[in-house]
Amino acid sequence: MRPRLSHLIFTEAVIALAGIAHAEPRESVHFGLLNIEQEATYGDRRDNVQERTVDYLRKACPEIDFSVEVYDILGLQAAVREGRVDAFLSSSGFFVELWHQGVKDLATLVSNDFPDPNRCVGGSFIVRAEEPQDLTLDDLHGRIAAAPNPQNFMAYQIGMAEIARRGYDPDRFFSRLDFTGNDLPEVLRRVASGDSDVGLVRACILESLLKKMPELRGRLRVVEPVKDAPISCAVSTPLYPGWTVAATTSLKPASAEAIARALLTQPPSGAGGYRWSVATDFKSVNDVFRLLKTGPYAYLDEWTLKGFLLHYWPLFALAAAALFFWILHWLSVEKLVKKRTKELQAALGREALLHRKALGAAEQSEKLLQLGVVNELSCIYAHEMAQPLTSIGYLARTLKTLSGKEALNRDLIRRCSEKIAEDLSLAEAILTRVRRYAKSPIRRNSEVDLSGLLNEVADSVRRLNPGTELVLDASPAVVVRGDQLELSILILNLLKNAASAALDHRVSASLKAEGDFAEIEVKNLGKSIRGSPFADRVLIRKAQSSLSEAPQEGALGQPRPDGLGLLIVQSIVHAHGGVFSWENEKCGASDESAGGEPGEAHEAPEGASVIVMRVKLPVKGPDPGSASNLLTSTHP
């Protein structure tokens, strides 16, 4: 290569010296050539394009003194920028890259195989022949590649632009990229030996080199060749303009016109029919640099504020739109929040007012409840004390009668005195028991076997009421938390009131667990009690009237009036956090009794109904502080 360049320069010098004496002054034109590989030209030898072009211009333009200098890619770029070159022969990519320096294309090389000056060169991806036949450019991602030079437009940049066009980042597409310094045979040798997976070269280079490297025949092929390409060799990319002669801003217009006329009128030469034409589409070349962000578009790869905004403006627009709609949403939500806050404050004000009213009503109810409890205590105490005091009264009148007789019956007087002392002791015991019950706090957190307690109390009621049939249906192992004594009094009063009110002397009682509650249900056939929202007040009045109107019955422990028993039941259930209710179930002229066997019919008296009393007690006992000891709270 160097000897040929030396010969070219020597020939120019000899011609110039021979014509010095008699030649007219000629314009000097500095012509630049690229120091590229021999195989990068269209033919097998570089002089097919470069040397023959210079020789032809010397002959066709005798009025111009051509001085030729060979540069590498970067050197020729510097010479153009510095104005040391007037014209040059290069690839279309090199020419477009210097557009901003004011260069102007004069002619583009074509041939019989490449008649279209806009579509002369392309890139090829070379792989080993054993690779799959359906291998595509996308499959090359992550592989090792070999290429001649990163500034080589035809052999490298065209191929990398195709990768970028498919949406990949060309700088990160290959796992490794090795450059051979424009040594194209080395690229093919690396691929064939397996040192590289793929090689990037100009189209037709593979076919040209295989003639000189027969050992590689059949071992290499082109990836994804373009179908119906207007060239005779395999190519992997679109085609672009080829070799171009361009003028710089230092070339005089007359010289530029002479060079362009000479090139465009040159007859076809060589076996390939090489000639010069005019290319009109350098935009495709410009797109290569834009995709690679190099050359005139190198600024796209620099992270300046402007470049950043230009590159990511869609994201900024999206963010701005999102911010705008977020602000609208925020304003809407803020308005809605203020509206809802105002409504909530008004609702809270109404709720606070209702709460204050409820507290007032609760305080009033508490006062009424305390008054009712005082009444209950008074009734219980009066009920218990009635028997001993009545007995003492009878005995006192008896003693008065005996003392008026002349003959004193001392034995009778002694027995009356003993009976009085006994009744006084009984009254004192009742008073002591009431005081002790009122003063000591009751703990209602003990486990109570309600099933066993119901059976025990039912046995006691059967003994006290032998004429009453009592039927039990109690689920086993129903356990609640409470006070066993109070619960036994509760069950006792339920069963005794039912037994005393049963018209057919039959009573049924059942016990079952329902979720967090234990339910006791007692039924008997009795006179209908019409339901009323003030039924509890009716019971209180009934209990009070029972004490004043009903005749006293014997000693302590004998049956009490129904109203007082239910009042005691209601108080104990309330203290245990439970619910006490009753209802009437209608029955016909002939109905099953409360305590009879199913299907056994009994004639029901006129106006009678089935009285159902239900008690629901929480299994876990009353909430702490929810039910106070009513007797303690009213103890004076």
- How far apart CA 214 and CA 193 sit, in angstroms, is 15
The pLDDT confidence band at residue 451, using thresholds 50, 70 and 90, is confident
pTM: 0.47
Q: Hey, is 612 helix, strand or coil?
A: strand
**CATH number of the CATH domain containing 571:** 3.30.565.10
Higher model confidence: residue 71 or residue 437? 71
Based on the domain organization, do 584 and 605 belong to the same domain? Answer: yes
Judge whether residue 370 has pLDDT over 70.
no
End residue of a domain, out of 301, 321, 349: 301
pLDDT for 2 equals 47
Closest C-alpha to 522, from 555, 560, 565, 558 = 565
Contact between residue 618 and residue 480 where contact means Cβ atoms under 8 Å apart? yes
Kindly state whether residue 213 falls inside one of the protein's structural domains.
yes
**CATH number of the CATH domain containing 154:** 3.40.190.10
Check the CA dihedral 519-522-523-527 and report its sign: negative
- Measure Cα distances from 553 to 385, 388, 486, 556, 586 in Å: 12, 11, 24, 9, 33
Judge whether residue 10 has pLDDT over 80.
no
Judge whether residue 82 has pLDDT over 90.
yes
- How far apart CA 511 and CA 615 sit, in angstroms, is 10
Judge whether residue 355 has pLDDT over 90.
no
DSSP characters for 249-295?
A: TTS-HHHHHHHHHHHHTPPPBTTTTBEEE-----HHHHHHHHHHT-G
Kindly state whether residue 127 falls inside one of the protein's structural domains.
yes
The proportion of the chain whose per-residue pLDDT surpasses 70, expressed as a percent, equals 76
Q: Is 191 exposed, middle or buried (0-12, 13-18, 19+ CB in 10 A)?
A: buried
Contacts of 425 (CB under 8 A, 6+ apart): none
End residue of a domain, out of 364, 383, 418: 418
Mean pLDDT score of the chain: 79
What is the DSSP-derived secondary structure letter of residue 113? S
Based on the domain organization, do 536 and 624 belong to the same domain? Answer: yes
Based on the domain organization, do 295 and 314 belong to the same domain? Answer: no
Q: Hey, is 448 helix, strand or coil?
A: strand
Judge whether residue 245 has pLDDT over 90.
yes
Based on the domain organization, do 108 and 139 belong to the same domain? Answer: no
Write the pLDDT tens digit of every residue in 183-205: 889 999 999 999 999 999 998 88
Kindly state whether residue 424 falls inside one of the protein's structural domains.
no
Average pLDDT estimate for 239-253:
93
- Measure Cα distances from 235 to 154, 238, 484 in Å: 12, 8, 103
- How far apart CA 430 and CA 383 sit, in angstroms, is 11
Based on the domain organization, do 390 and 491 belong to the same domain? Answer: no
pLDDT for 635 equals 32
Contact between residue 148 and residue 179 where contact means Cβ atoms under 8 Å apart? yes
Based on the domain organization, do 207 and 248 belong to the same domain? Answer: no
Total domains present in the chain: 4
The pLDDT confidence band at residue 488, using thresholds 50, 70 and 90, is confident
Q: Please give the biggest Cα pair distance in the chain.
A: 200
- How far apart CA 299 and CA 310 sit, in angstroms, is 11
Structural domain harbouring 377: 306-418
Judge whether residue 320 has pLDDT over 60.
yes
Q: Which of 231-235, 285-289, 330-334, 341-345 has the lowest mean pLDDT?
A: 231-235
Based on the domain organization, do 199 and 249 belong to the same domain? Answer: no
Average pLDDT estimate for 322-329:
93
Q: Which of 169-173, 360-364, 418-422 has the lowest mean pLDDT?
A: 360-364
- How far apart CA 369 and CA 362 sit, in angstroms, is 10
Q: Which of 216-230, 326-340, 558-572, 613-627 has the lowest mean pLDDT?
A: 558-572
Based on the domain organization, do 311 and 266 belong to the same domain? Answer: no
pLDDT for 510 equals 92
- How far apart CA 439 and CA 568 sit, in angstroms, is 19
Judge whether residue 279 has pLDDT over 80.
yes
Kindly state whether residue 167 falls inside one of the protein's structural domains.
yes
The pLDDT confidence band at residue 366, using thresholds 50, 70 and 90, is low
Write the pLDDT tens digit of every residue in 589-626: 444 445 444 344 456 666 678 888 999 999 887 876 55
Based on the domain organization, do 461 and 331 belong to the same domain? Answer: no
Kindly state whether residue 32 falls inside one of the protein's structural domains.
yes
Q: Which of the listed ranges 89-103, 389-403, 448-462, 528-542 does the model predict with the highest average pLDDT? A: 89-103
Average pLDDT estimate for 504-532:
83
pLDDT for 354 equals 87
Q: Is 20 exposed, middle or buried (0-12, 13-18, 19+ CB in 10 A)?
A: exposed
Encoded tokens for 290: 């834009």
CB neighbourhood size of 59 (10 A):
8
Kindly state whether residue 234 falls inside one of the protein's structural domains.
no
Beta-bridge partners for 23: none
Based on the domain organization, do 34 and 69 belong to the same domain? Answer: yes
For 495, half-sphere exposure in the C-beta direction (CA atoms, 13 angstrom radius) is 30
Helix (H) or strand (E) holding 64: strand 64-71
Kindly state whether residue 29 falls inside one of the protein's structural domains.
yes
Encoded tokens for 433: 């028991």
CA 268 to chain centre: 73
Based on the domain organization, do 105 and 64 belong to the same domain? Answer: yes
Place of tokens 């498919």: 166
Q: Hey, is 595 helix, strand or coil?
A: coil
Burial 445-475 (b: 16+ CB within 10 A, else e): eeebebbebbeebbeebbeebeebbbbbebe
Higher model confidence: residue 137 or residue 272? 137
Contacts of 294 (CB under 8 A, 6+ apart): 157, 301
- How far apart CA 497 and CA 582 sit, in angstroms, is 13
End residue of a domain, out of 418, 434, 469: 418
What is the DSSP-derived secondary structure letter of residue 24? P
Kindly state whether residue 493 falls inside one of the protein's structural domains.
yes
Place of tokens 């007040």: 537
The proportion of the chain whose per-residue pLDDT surpasses 90, expressed as a percent, equals 34
Based on the domain organization, do 584 and 463 belong to the same domain? Answer: yes
Average pLDDT estimate for 52-73:
91
Encoded tokens for 314: 């869609």
